[in-house]
Amino acid sequence: MSDYHDDLRLAHVLADAADAQTMDRFKALDLKVETKPDMTPVSEADKAAEELIRSQLQRARPRDAILGEEYGIEGTGPRRWVIDPIDGTKNYVRGVPVWATLISLMEAGEGGFQPVVGVVSAPALGRRWWAAKGGGAYTGRSLTSATRLRVSEVSRLSDASLAYSSLSGWEEQGRLDGFMDLTRAVWRTRGYGDFWPYMMVAEGSVDICAEPELSLWDMAATAIVVTEAGGDFTGLDGRPGPHSGNAAASNGLLHDELLGYLNQRY
């Protein structure tokens, strides 16, 4: 982790600042919410949090590029910070506490940019998770007060807990039959949604999760937390990392079966 210690520490500082800002507007009666061209909501808090993170990064890492959900790409080079200011905006605007700021640093390498640092901060839940390449994954209040994460050892699908976000996306992609077969094959299903299932996989409290349509900023931070906890994070096509436009995460032992169900009738 020594190679990325300063970057990870900076990501925590950025998350602290974003948390203070997003929590200040959470459940605010005058919160302004707009609809983006893709028909998803964006709040003033999304924009303000990304602006805050960008301004701090521009001072602390002026040579690094920044990619954010709300304001796109800025800069070039082998290092790129990827930001989702509020993952779970629909929850945020309805007062549901399941939302998080996702901050990742990606570096250019074989197969394109790969995440090397990730922080997932969910202040309304009082939780934070993080990881750095080669240094493991952790959860806790701070870098100095943390517990190491490890995925589960469940090896049978019939004993596994599956988490997901919704059914509509699977239906739109023609994968609903395979997904429903998967729900019947596992021990338990729960629709926690957004970033949380991936963190549960990393913690070992959930064994598998998947989503049919995602953007890079939804996955960069969660991907490295899962993999550094010992799990697998791929697209539905099996390609490792957060570049497939969708995601499947598991404890590793169940990954092939997970992908098999989600692709069997596609």
DSSP sequence for 9-47: HHHHHHHHHHHHHHHHHTT-TT--EEE-TTS-EEEHHHH
Q: Is 84 annotated as a binding residue?
A: yes
Specify whether the CB–CB gap between 128 and 18 falls below 8 A: no
35 and 143 belong to one structural domain: yes
102 and 163 belong to one structural domain: no
The domain spanning residue 52 has which CATH number?
A: 3.30.540.10
Q: Is 237 annotated as a binding residue?
A: no
Q: Which domain holds residue 134?
A: 4-148
Last residue of a domain, one of 123, 148, 173: 148
The domain spanning residue 206 has which CATH number?
A: 3.40.190.80
162 and 143 belong to one structural domain: no
Distance in angstroms (rounded) separating the CA atoms of residues 16 and 20: 6
Q: Is 213 annotated as a binding residue?
A: no
101 and 123 belong to one structural domain: yes
pLDDT at 1: 46
26 and 103 belong to one structural domain: yes
**Sign of torsion over alpha carbons 1, 233, 143, 120:** positive
List of E strands, the chain: 33-35, 41-43, 65-68, 72-74, 79-87, 100-109, 112-122, 127-132, 136-142, 145-148, 161-163, 188-190, 208-211, 232-234, 247-250
170 and 249 belong to one structural domain: yes
pLDDT at 39: 53
pLDDT average per 10 residues of sequence, the chain (266 residues): 86 96 79 66 81 96 94 93 93 90 94 94 96 96 90 98 92 92 96 94 98 96 98 97 96 97 81
81 and 137 belong to one structural domain: yes
Q: Is 73 annotated as a binding residue?
A: no
Q: Is 218 annotated as a binding residue?
A: yes
List CB contacts of 55: < 8 A, sequence separation 6 or more. Answer: none
pLDDT at 244: 95
